């Protein structure tokens, strides 16, 4: 009886192994573009659920998601590996691969067809080997972007991990030599929280849209062209510094950026597109610097959802110009300026505003008009010398009518009673304070200051 049990167990094990072998299949075929079908091939290993695209040249373009040669196996694809040599992902190539979680794309790829990743709702990992090549990739539309699923629905818990040579990109630094970021290039990428553009001069439409982890942006002066919707739907974006030579605030530039609280529009801007700040629910302050009526650009109808509660900070003496401009007058107009107070040496002293300085209640900026500034030494060893413009008043009353900078200069306090003495070399000075002023060395011990000559003090 026991012998029969062994035979039965062996038969069941063999059947199980045979079932696994039958279940683990490899499918393959050609998928090249018309006229070059055999140049690009595909193979699907159902054991690891990996679809591999190999060869040279472009994949075919398909008109529907059911036309791809691996249609019958699409529900089993979890990983796609595109090998070097392939130059294009065909339209609708993976749009039915709802279980796809990761894709590897080579530097040879230059184009992605329509709807290639349309329904890839679980695609959370993109692996590339050449960042410069990816910046130049031609994506047909947002459904060609691997992380397009991050552009719709709820904005929390978004995953769009970009890997460069196997390492997760948490801070994106565009390589030198790249001057243009192509449309949709980083659409939906959520792994990086900052962007360094380096030599980039142009950003095409939707280049960084739906990058939900970016909190701050500093766009360098060489960026002169920013297309529509570049930063649309960046839901965590709080602060932005735009380039001073920017001429157009493009339509939808910061569309649906609910965390953006303030924005300074450069004086170089001559055109503002529709919905560039729409809806602007968190926006509290907009700063502008146009000083003539004709220089103020027209605002489109849907620039923002509501003007209520938003302060528009305008230069001193220009409030009437903005009151006369359509839609600009709907903001809460505030005349103020950037007042910058500096110390030539913060270890000696600082500068503070007077207590009666008029301020804007929304932003705490100094309003136009008269105010008082005071230079305050750190301690008795230092004293105020003068302001950078030569003025020696302290405190000083100033009239603020433009962006202004005031720098205080300080100097060392030397007691009027000085005991002159010459000390032999090697004399110990313990905790005495050494001060060098005007090429003269002083040593302060207790309440006396000595002028030292003829020896070196270390």
Cα(157)–Cα(213) distance, integer angstroms: 10
**What confidence category does residue 455 fall into, taking pLDDT thresholds of 50, 70 and 90?**
very low
What does the DSSP 8-state code read for residue 288? -
Judgement on whether residues 261 and 383 belong to the same structural domain of the protein: no
Of the ranges 11-25, 117-131, 277-291, 359-373, which one carries the lowest mean pLDDT score? Answer: 11-25
**What confidence category does residue 368 fall into, taking pLDDT thresholds of 50, 70 and 90?**
confident
Within 8 A by CB and 6+ apart from 50, the residues are: 44, 77, 78, 79, 80, 81
33 inside domain: yes
20 inside domain: no
Per-residue pLDDT at 300: 92
Average pLDDT, the chain: 86
Pairing of strands 339-343, 369-377: unpaired
Q: Please name the residue that has the structure tokens 């932005």.
A: 240
Overall number of domains in the chain: 3
Beta bridge partners of 376: 350
Judgement on whether residues 140 and 208 belong to the same structural domain of the protein: yes
333 inside domain: no
186 inside domain: yes
Of the ranges 158-167, 173-182, 350-359, 449-458, which one carries the lowest mean pLDDT score? Answer: 449-458
Judgement on whether residues 131 and 110 belong to the same structural domain of the protein: yes
| pLDDT at residue 76 greater than cutoff 70 | yes
> How many alpha carbons lie under 13 Å from residue 217 in its C-beta half-sphere?
28
| pLDDT at residue 17 greater than cutoff 50 | no
Q: What is the mean pLDDT of residues 147-165?
A: 81
| pLDDT at residue 274 greater than cutoff 60 | yes
Judgement on whether residues 382 and 401 belong to the same structural domain of the protein: yes
**What confidence category does residue 38 fall into, taking pLDDT thresholds of 50, 70 and 90?**
very high
Judgement on whether residues 56 and 85 belong to the same structural domain of the protein: yes
97 inside domain: yes
Judgement on whether residues 60 and 132 belong to the same structural domain of the protein: yes
pTM (two decimals): 0.77
Cα(212)–Cα(420) distance, integer angstroms: 69
Q: Where are the alpha helices (DSSP H) in 271-338?
A: 319-323
151 inside domain: yes
| pLDDT at residue 421 greater than cutoff 80 | no
Judgement on whether residues 248 and 377 belong to the same structural domain of the protein: no
Judgement on whether residues 138 and 38 belong to the same structural domain of the protein: yes
Judgement on whether residues 167 and 104 belong to the same structural domain of the protein: yes
Judgement on whether residues 181 and 270 belong to the same structural domain of the protein: yes
Cβ atoms 115, 65 nearer than 8 A: yes
Judgement on whether residues 50 and 105 belong to the same structural domain of the protein: yes
Q: What is the pLDDT of residues 380-410, one digit of tens each?
A: 889 999 999 999 999 999 988 877 899 999 9
Judgement on whether residues 238 and 356 belong to the same structural domain of the protein: no
| pLDDT at residue 422 greater than cutoff 70 | no
Cα(43)–Cα(26) distance, integer angstroms: 7
* Angle (nearest 5°) at CA 392 between 388 and 396: 90
By the 10 Å C-beta count (0-12 exposed, 13-18 middle, 19+ buried), 206 is classed as: buried
**What confidence category does residue 150 fall into, taking pLDDT thresholds of 50, 70 and 90?**
confident
Cα(25)–Cα(75) distance, integer angstroms: 14
In which domain, by residue range, is 434 found? 418-451
> Which 3 state secondary structure label does DSSP give 154?
coil
């Amino acid at each position: 009886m026991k012998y029969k049990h062994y035979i039965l167990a062996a038969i069941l094990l063999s059947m199980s192994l045979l079932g696994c072998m039958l279940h683990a299949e490899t499918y393959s075929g050609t998928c090249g573009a018309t006229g070059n079908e055999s140049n690009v091939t595909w193979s699907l290993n159902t054991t690891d659920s990996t679809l591999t695209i190999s060869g040279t040249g472009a994949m075919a373009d398909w008109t529907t998601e059911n036309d791809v040669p691996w249609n019958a196996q699409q529900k089993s694809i979890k990983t796609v590996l595109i090998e070097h040599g392939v130059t294009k992902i065909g339209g609708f190539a993976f749009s039915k691969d709802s279980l796809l979680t990761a894709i590897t794309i080579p530097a040879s790829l230059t184009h992605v067809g329509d709807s290639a990743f349309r329904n890839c709702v679980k695609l959370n990992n993109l692996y590339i080997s050449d960042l410069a090549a990816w910046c130049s990739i031609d994506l047909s539309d947002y459904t060609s972007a691997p992380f397009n699923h991050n552009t719709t629905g709820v904005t929390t818990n978004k995953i769009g991990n970009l890997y460069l040579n196997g390492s997760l990109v948490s801070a994106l630094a565009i390589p030198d030599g790249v001057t243009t970021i192509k449309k949709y290039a980083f659409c939906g990428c959520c792994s990086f929280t900052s962007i360094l553009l380096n030599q980039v001069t142009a950003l095409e439409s939707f280049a960084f849209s739906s990058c939900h982890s970016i909190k701050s942006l500093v766009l360098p002066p060489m960026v002169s062209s920013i297309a529509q919707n570049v930063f649309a739907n960046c839901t965590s974006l709080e602060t932005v510094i735009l380039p001073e030579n920017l001429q157009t605030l493009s339509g939808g530039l910061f569309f649906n950026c609910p965390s953006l609280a303030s924005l300074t529009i450069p004086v170089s801007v001559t055109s503002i597109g529709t919905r560039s700040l729409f809806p602007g629910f968190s926006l509290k302050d907009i700063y502008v610097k146009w000083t003539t009526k004709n220089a103020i650009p027209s605002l489109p109808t849907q620039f923002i959802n509501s003007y209520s509660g938003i302060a528009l900070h305008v230069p001193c003496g220009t409030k009437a110009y903005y009151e006369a401009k359509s839609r600009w007058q709907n903001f809460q107009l505030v005349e103020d300026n950037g007042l910058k107070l500096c110390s030539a040496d913060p270890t000696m002293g600082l500068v503070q505003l007077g207590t009666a300085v008029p301020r804007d209640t929304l932003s705490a900026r100094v309003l136009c008009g008269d105010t008082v500034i005071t230079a305050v030494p750190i301690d008795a060893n230092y004293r105020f010398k003068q302001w950078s413009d030569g003025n020696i008043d302290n405190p000083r009353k100033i009239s603020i009518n433009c962006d202004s900078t005031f720098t205080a200069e300080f100097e060392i306090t030397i007691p009027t009673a000085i005991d002159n003495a010459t000390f032999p070399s090697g004399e110990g000075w313990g905790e005495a304070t050494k001060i060098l002023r005007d090429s003269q060395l002083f040593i302060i011990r207790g309440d006396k200051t000595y002028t030292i000559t003829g020896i070196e003090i270390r």
